[in-house]
Amino acid sequence: MKDLRIDGEKVYLRPVTLSDATEEYVNWLNDKEVNQYLESRFTRYTLDNVKDYIKKASADPKYLFLAIIRKDNNKHIGNIKLGPIDWHHKFSNLGIMIGDKDSWGRGYATEAERIISDYALDVLKLHKIICGFYADNLGSLKSILRAGFHIEGVLKNQYLSKGGYVDAILIAKFSKENQADKQHDSK
């Protein structure tokens, strides 16, 4: 798996390595603007605990923890994670962080979400990818919908965000076989 590389047009994904554990990466995780919608925002990060996390995530077969690399400058701009992967029921959670603020709003997250979900559904043969977003995280919501995901449900007043409770938006993307089955069933 360490040789894995998933290419898109503007980014490619490859496993996160210990060499990715830089001060810049630590700063992303501790930046209140970057982490405002991440559950990890309640932890204060250091180079040591980032390295520990990378080691654990890389060694766990239920996780695929990948760096998002821009093709135009070969810069590590964030991470995307599948996991835990439920191999019995064939689904997984997806999480993403674009830490490099200069890379925000340029379509890199959408492309990373599309290529990892396509890889998970077509190559790993999962049947469903799920994720959740704070309702006020409009940029991420738009990005994931452009990547081919659909809103599956809403949990009312789920998260405390910016002084008040907001809904959790539940998102999913299904394998092509499952989409075809759903279309057949509706006829």
CATH of the domain at 42: 3.40.630.30
pLDDT of amino acid 185: 47
Q: Are 175 and 127 in contact, with CB atoms under 8 Å apart?
A: yes
Mean pLDDT over residues 97-107, rounded?
93
The angle that helices 47-59 and 23-30 make with each other, rounded to 10 degrees, is 90
| pTM for the full predicted model | 0.89
On whether residue 1 sits in a domain, the answer given is no
pLDDT, average across residues 53-59: 91
Q: Give burial (CB, 10 Å; 0-12/13-18/19+) of 2.
A: exposed
pLDDT at 35 over 80: no
For residue 139, give Cα distances in angstroms to 130, 142, 165: 18, 5, 18
Phi, psi of 56 (to 5 degrees): -65, -45
pLDDT digits (tens, 9 = 90+) for 126-170: 999 999 998 888 888 999 999 999 999 999 999 888 779 999 999
* pLDDT tens track for 178-187: 654 444 444 4
| 54 is a domain residue | yes
Q: Has residue 100 been placed in a domain?
A: yes
- Residues in the chain, total: 187
Domain limits at 173? 6-185
Count of structural domains, the chain: 1
Confidence check: pLDDT of 4 > 80: yes
Please report whether residue 48 resides in a domain.
yes
- Angstrom distance (rounded) from CA 131 to CA 43: 21
